[in-house]
Amino acid sequence: MNIPSILALLAVISAPLAAAEPNILTPEEKTAGFKLIFDGKTLDGFRNFKEEKPNPKWQVRDGAIVLTEKGGGNLMTAEQFDDFEFRFEFRIAAHGNSGIMWRVAETANQPFLTGPEFQILDSHSKTGYPHEIVAGNLSGGLYGIIPVKPEFTKPTGEWNEGSIRVQGTKITLTLNGNVTADIDTTSDKWKELLGNSKFAKWPKFNKEPKGHLVFQDHNDVVEFRTLRVKKLK
């Protein structure tokens, strides 16, 4: 067999392996107790905020959960979590905006009234959401409270790796291996940051001991995959 034929054969063999990489657990994650909450094929285990089913504008495409257009509403896990570590991949459209909230209750009219948010944004955009960019509300930041650097976000079109770890009153966020927030919500620092934010007068914000994970519809196309959670208690 000549070299071109060998290379072609290797490409055929390796293609299924590459396609299988998303939506699987690493050996380390299996040992640590992580579980996949998205099977890569269906929206089983998800529904819209205050609805019984997912909105049709949330679809599964090429192994990812995709908000295909605005008007899909906020998608959330049917399951609730108290202390957890959530690892995920996301990809945002050019000039786009989205986010992931946690410990969200359905007692309020909007998920952001109870759940803090891991911000997702095209952090390199020159035209999209300039007020958020100026404020440092970029991908990986604790939205409206702890800003983050734009260089932590990969260019539009590339997948980013994020994590949210919530244990008791402590919140730790990461983006592409960088710690973007690490704070105890009983600390004086948190009280100062919260007091200077718009959330200071929201009575239910970050008060829930457990709740849903929510994927925000901010009218822009966004994709999520390889969603895995480890319960910490």
For the chain, the domain total comes to 1
State the Rg of the chain over Cα: 19
Of 219, 120, 216, the residue nearest 161 (C-alpha): 120
Q: Is residue 75 part of a domain?
A: yes
Q: What is the pLDDT of residues 142-192, one digit of tens each?
A: 999 999 999 999 999 999 999 999 999 999 999 999 999 999 999 999 999
Q: Is residue 17 part of a domain?
A: no
| pLDDT for residue 194 is more than 90 | yes
Report pLDDT for 233: 79
Q: What is the CATH number of the domain that holds 172?
A: 2.60.120.560
In a domain, 5, yes or no: no
For 34, list phi and psi in degrees, rounded to 5: -75, 150
Quick check: 7 pLDDT over 60?
A: no
pLDDT of residue 9 exceeding 90, the answer is: no
Distance CA 219, CA 155 (A): 20
> Quick one: pLDDT at residue 11?
43
Q: What is the mean pLDDT of residues 183-212?
A: 97
DSSP for 153-172 reads: SPPTTS-EEEEEEEETTEEE
Does any domain span residue 3? no
* 73-84 mean pLDDT: 98
pLDDT above 70 as % of the chain: 91
Q: Does residue 139 belong to any structural domain of this protein? A: yes
Residue 4 belongs to a domain: no
Let me know if residue 11 belongs to a domain: no
DSSP helix/strand/coil, 231: strand
How much is the pTM? Answer: 0.90
The answer as to whether 123 is a domain residue is: yes
Q: What's the domain range around 110? A: 26-231
CA distance 86 to 95: 25
